[in-house]
């Protein structure tokens, strides 16, 4: 099978360390492939080792003992040969006895290692009402049983589409209920593309960051602004970007934004905590008076380790300082090409603070799960100026079941996928500060006003 593959599939093979997406039916799970790691997915457990070396997009079956086996794709064989079907359900009575197999019987079949398809066939053969069901009802029955007993796993390369759908289904709380169609709007309205310099502030587990990085393709730079001690990137890591993508990623703590704006950011700043810990360590040492040579040796060893650790810490700190300096340098130009905000924080102060780093004529997009904070942002931006084309939107997503004679919207739809405020920056107006309210008025009106005042002047 391997020989017949010749299109750039070297990168298309699964290897250890890869971040992959497992798919069963419509359910996704993101995992990293590791040696002999047990993975639990959809109430089944297995090891991914056998998948290593196989191509992405391959379908697997789970065998006893949790090993994966390539699924041999036989052409769809009809489960029922007889095309016997009822017209309607007037004679179908729900007496709870239509299935002749008991729960124990089914368990036994499973233990015998019967294939999913064979179990489904057994269920159909032992259903007394199956032949009386309508053709459509039969199809639905088979589909339902297949979903339960046939458990193929497909291993896919991660993408924004898969991860955004996965997060939305599995952990919407972690991504502030950002629905994938809303994420799609963010990326498009933000004009995210290769070569730009984009500022991202998100608390969506790193999903938004990852999707921005995917659209930039490793060209340009992304500055992630983060709250608290450090940036969250689990979602971004799940994309499994090549290492050169990471070189374009910078980070800057939100708590230093004011200092940066005021020009008082001290880059030589020492990390206070490390200084304290060093002092603490040295104190008990000076108290020791033991002369036991073994104790002495142990102490020397401890000291050596301590020094090593201190050295490592120093290197790390130096790295951290360098990273901070490079992010600060990128921000200081105040010429970013875009701003994306999607967080659980109140968006208003974030937007007002970070918009200062964006060049004129660039798009910005703010996501919020709720509408009211964005109304506030809108009002504030209108007052302050510096932005045009403000739009407060949300989108509505409906899925359809498309089947012969059975096409209709699916029964359940998502109630809401959050709200967006988007707009374009413009050059700050010098006259604006003096004359804030006047320039807020529509242009035509202002013209009229100016005319009136000038005619008044001339008449006077």
Select the span of 95-103, 288-296, 320-328, 445-453 touching other proteins (CB under 8 A). 445-453
Q: Which is nearer to other proteins, 164 or 205 (CB)?
A: 164
CB of 76 to other proteins, least distance (A): 10
Cα distances (Å, whole numbers) of residue 108 to 102, 197, 387: 10, 60, 68
Q: Which is nearer to other proteins, 145 or 179 (CB)?
A: 179
- The answer to whether 21 and 156 are in contact (CB under 8 A) is yes
Q: Which is nearer to other proteins, 287 or 444 (CB)?
A: 444
Q: Which of 316, 320, 391, 438 contacts other proteins by CB under 8 A?
A: 391
Q: Which is nearer to other proteins, 40 or 194 (CB)?
A: 194
Q: Which of 231, 240, 347, 363 contacts other proteins by CB under 8 A?
A: 363
| Intra-chain end-to-end CA distance of the chain, in Å | 94
CB of 406 to other proteins, least distance (A): 10
Per CB under 8 A, does 191 bind other proteins? yes
- The answer to whether 72 and 58 are in contact (CB under 8 A) is no
The 3-state secondary structure of 218-287 reads CCCEEEEEECCCCCCCHHHHCCCCCHHHHCCEEEEEHHHHHHHHHCCCCCCCCCHHHHHHHHHHHHHHHH
Q: Which of 229, 284, 404, 415 contacts other proteins by CB under 8 A?
A: 404
Q: Which is nearer to other proteins, 44 or 389 (CB)?
A: 389
Select the span of 82-90, 257-265, 297-305, 360-368 touching other proteins (CB under 8 A). 360-368
Contacts of other proteins in 316-345 (CB under 8 A): 335, 337
Q: What is the DSSP string of 53-104?
A: TSBTT-EEEEPTTS-EEE--------S-SS----S-STT----S-SB-S-HH
Q: Which long-range contacts (CB under 8 A, 24 or more apart) does 16-21 make?
A: 16/52, 18/240, 19/158, 19/237, 19/238, 19/239, 19/240, 20/48, 20/56, 20/155, 20/156, 20/157, 20/158, 20/240, 21/155, 21/156, 21/157, 21/158, 21/159, 21/162, 21/163, 21/166, 21/238
Contacts of other proteins in 133-172 (CB under 8 A): 159-161, 164
Contacts of other proteins in 55-84 (CB under 8 A): 55-58
Q: Which is nearer to other proteins, 344 or 432 (CB)?
A: 432
CB of 42 to other proteins, least distance (A): 17
Q: Which of 31, 101, 184, 310 contacts other proteins by CB under 8 A?
A: 184
Q: Which is nearer to other proteins, 20 or 265 (CB)?
A: 20
**Helix, strand, or coil here: 421?**
strand
Q: Which of 142, 155, 362, 368 contacts other proteins by CB under 8 A?
A: 362
Query: What is the distance between the alpha carbons of residues 40 and 245, in angstroms, rounded to a whole number?
Result: 30
CB of 268 to other proteins, least distance (A): 32
Q: Which is nearer to other proteins, 290 or 439 (CB)?
A: 439
Query: What is the distance between the alpha carbons of residues 171 and 164, in angstroms, rounded to a whole number?
Result: 10
Per CB under 8 A, does 371 bind other proteins? yes
Per CB under 8 A, does 307 bind other proteins? no
Query: What is the distance between the alpha carbons of residues 421 and 427, in angstroms, rounded to a whole number?
Result: 19
Contacts of other proteins in 5-24 (CB under 8 A): 5, 7, 9, 12
**CB count, 10 Å around CB of 442?**
8
DSSP letter at 346?
-
Q: Which is nearer to other proteins, 59 or 313 (CB)?
A: 59
CB of 103 to other proteins, least distance (A): 32
Q: Which is nearer to other proteins, 74 or 402 (CB)?
A: 402
Q: Which long-range contacts (CB under 8 A, 24 or more apart) does 18-21 make?
A: 18/240, 19/158, 19/237, 19/238, 19/239, 19/240, 20/48, 20/56, 20/155, 20/156, 20/157, 20/158, 20/240, 21/155, 21/156, 21/157, 21/158, 21/159, 21/162, 21/163, 21/166, 21/238
- The answer to whether 344 and 329 are in contact (CB under 8 A) is no
Contacts of other proteins in 207-236 (CB under 8 A): 214-219
Per CB under 8 A, does 35 bind other proteins? no
CB of 356 to other proteins, least distance (A): 14
Per CB under 8 A, does 392 bind other proteins? yes
Q: Which is nearer to other proteins, 56 or 252 (CB)?
A: 56
**Helix, strand, or coil here: 353?**
helix
Q: Which is nearer to other proteins, 34 or 376 (CB)?
A: 376
Select the span of 101-109, 229-237, 270-278, 440-448 touching other proteins (CB under 8 A). 440-448
Number of residues located near other proteins, criterion CB under 8 A: 71
Q: Which of 27, 40, 93, 194 contacts other proteins by CB under 8 A?
A: 194
Q: Which of 72, 402, 411, 456 contacts other proteins by CB under 8 A?
A: 402
Query: What is the distance between the alpha carbons of residues 248 and 340, in angstroms, rounded to a whole number?
Result: 17
CB of 114 to other proteins, least distance (A): 25
């Amino acid at each position: 099978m391997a020989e017949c593959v010749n299109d750039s599939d070297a990168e298309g093979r699964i290897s250890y360390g890869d971040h992959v997406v497992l798919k069963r039916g419509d359910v996704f799970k993101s995992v990293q492939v590791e040696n002999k790691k047990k993975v639990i997915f959809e109430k089944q457990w297995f090891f991914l080792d056998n998948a290593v070396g196989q191509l992405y997009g391959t379908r697997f079956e789970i065998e006893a003992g949790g090993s994966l086996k390539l699924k041999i794709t036989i052409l769809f064989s009809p489960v029922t040969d007889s095309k016997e079907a009822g017209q309607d359900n007037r004679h179908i009575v729900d007496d709870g006895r239509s299935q002749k197999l008991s729960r124990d019987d089914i368990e036994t079949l499973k233990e015998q290692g019967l294939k999913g398809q064979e179990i489904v066939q057994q269920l159909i053969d032992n259903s007394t009402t199956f032949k009386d069901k309508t053709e459509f009802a039969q199809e639905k029955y088979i589909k339902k049983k297949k979903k339960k007993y046939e458990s193929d796993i497909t291993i896919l390369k991660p993408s924004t589409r898969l991860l955004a759908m996965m997060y939305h289904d599995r952990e919407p709380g972690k991504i502030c209920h950002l629905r994938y169609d809303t994420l799609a709007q963010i990326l498009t309205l933000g004009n995210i593309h290769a070569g730009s310099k984009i500022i991202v502030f998100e608390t969506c587990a790193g999903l938004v960051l990852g999707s921005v990085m995917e659209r930039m393709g490793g060209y340009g730079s992304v500055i992630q602004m983060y709250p608290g001690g450090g940036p969250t990137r689990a979602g971004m890591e799940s994309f499994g970007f090549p290492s050169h993508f990471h070189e374009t990623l910078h980070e800057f703590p939100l708590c230093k934004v004011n200092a940066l704006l005021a020009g008082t950011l001290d880059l030589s700043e020492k990390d206070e905590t490390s200084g304290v810990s060093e002092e603490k360590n040295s104190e008990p040492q000076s108290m020791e008076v033991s002369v036991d040579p073994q104790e002495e040796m142990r102490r020397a060893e401890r000291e050596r380790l301590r020094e090593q650790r201190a050295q490592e810490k120093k290197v790390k700190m130096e790295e951290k300082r360098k990273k901070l300096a490079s992010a600060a340098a990128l921000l200081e130009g105040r010429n970013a090409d875009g701003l994306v905000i999607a967080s659980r924080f109140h968006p208003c102060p974030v937007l007002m603070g970070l918009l200062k780093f964006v060049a004129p004529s660039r798009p910005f997009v703010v996501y919020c799960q709720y509408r009211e904070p964005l109304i506030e942002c809108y009002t504030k931006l209108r007052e302050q100026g510096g932005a045009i084309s403000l739009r407060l939107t949300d989108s509505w997503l409906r899925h359809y079941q498309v089947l012969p004679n059975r096409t209709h919207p699916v029964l359940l739809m998502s109630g809401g996928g959050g709200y967006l405020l988007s707009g374009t920056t413009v050059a700050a107006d010098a006259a604006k500060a003096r004359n804030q309210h006047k320039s807020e008025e529509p242009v035509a009106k202002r013209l009229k006003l100016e005319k009136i005042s000038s005619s008044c002047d001339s008449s006077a």
